[in-house]
Chain A
Amino acid sequence: MWLPIFGLILGVMLGLLTDIRIPDEYSNYLSIAVLAALDTLLGGMRAYLQNLYDEKVFVSGFFFNIILAASLAFLGVHLGVDLYLAAVFAFGVRLFQNIAVIRRILLSKWSKSPEKNL
């Protein structure tokens, strides 16, 4: 359970220490990609808690979602329509849903475990 959190912290440290910066024009794409990645991460956690987790689905979904979101933003820039908003909306909604499901599962787990102890 702790390993992924440790990985997250490691990644943040790595990024801050190496001082990598991307050009301003691409920061839009990266923000969309970050959103997609977060969504996938939370989706993976939910799936794990629901015992539906599949490594292949998770890893492929991660990369596929990022690429899809970035290409949608790219298409939007070229069409002159803010298509990235579609990605923001979709991922945002899913993010909330996933968090809600995770919360419910965790809550039910916690409320069950004291009963066992009693």
Chain B
Amino acid sequence: MKKDIKWGFTGISIIVGLMLAIQFQTVKQPKIKDTRDGWELRTQILAEQQMQSKLLTEIRELEEQASSYETKRSHNKESALKQTLNELKQEAGQTKVTGEGIVIKIKPLPEAELLGETIHSISPELLERLLNEINMYNAEHISINGQRVINTTVIREINGEPKIGGFSLGSYPITVRVLSSNAQNLHDRIKVSKVIEQFFIDNLSVEISDPVKELAVPSYQNPLKIKYLEPAGQE
């Protein structure tokens, strides 16, 4: 074979091989067999539908917000900005909030006191667990001993003393105020929650009040430190 003939032929045959391989892979693509039965598919569909409706609600809310911004912007720029600022402040815990909620009181167990057992101060892990549990049941605003709990609040032990954002939680009772739009639900769920038993192991009793219509949660008092945020450039 002449040299140039060889190379032309080889090049073309490489291309043909490549095409063959790609076609082969494309055709045999669905390798994994779908072995789910009807019931599993039904649950899958249900989950997807829930997801869809959730997303749709979210979209609608955002669209409403956008349209309200749009109308407000055309009316009054300043008031729209102020309202947004207030909304953001409320979300960040910078304002005092009142609303429906429950009060949780953590006290030493009387029986333990009677027996003369030493009552240790509450462990941060236990308190965090309680907060996680409360948050799981749709709590909106929380304060502990008058200290507002926000996203960046730290609960830790310093020199054997539990502290929340720098304030001591050494003495009992500890009062946790929780606001929720569905306080009854929150109350019922917290009452049967496992975390209450954990408190019992630590010789602490937990008292959960009935839902209160008007409950106040104070604002966050320390200045918020913003380390990584920067104002966006003008576009």
B interface residues, tally (CB under 8 Å): 25
Complex: chain A residue closest to B6, CB-CB: A3
Give the interface SS of chain A, mostly helix, strand, loop or mixed: helix
Nearest chain A CB to B27 CB, angstrom units: 7
What 1/0 flags go to A15-33 for Cβ under 8 Å of B?
A: 1100111101001001101
CB pair A14–B18 under 8 Å, yes or no, is yes
CB pair A22–B26 under 8 Å, yes or no, is yes
Chain A residues with Cβ below 8 Å from B29 are: 21, 24
Asked if A118 is an interface residue, CB under 8 A from chain B, the answer is no
A41-B13 in contact given A4-B6, A27-B26 (Cβ < 8 Å): yes
CB pair A15–B15 under 8 Å, yes or no, is no
Chain A residues with Cβ below 8 Å from B17 are: 7-15
A interface residues, tally (CB under 8 Å): 36
A41-B22 in contact given A4-B10, A55-B4 (Cβ < 8 Å): no
> B interface vs A, CB < 8 Å?
1, 4-6, 8-27, 29
> A interface vs B, CB < 8 Å?
1, 3-16, 19-22, 24, 27, 30-31, 33-34, 37-38, 40-41, 44, 48, 53, 55, 58-59, 62
Q: List 21 A-B contacts (CB under 8 A).
A: A3-B1, A4-B10, A7-B13, A7-B14, A8-B13, A9-B17, A10-B17, A11-B13, A11-B17, A11-B18, A12-B18, A12-B20, A14-B18, A15-B25, A16-B25, A21-B25, A30-B22, A30-B23, A40-B12, A41-B16, A55-B4
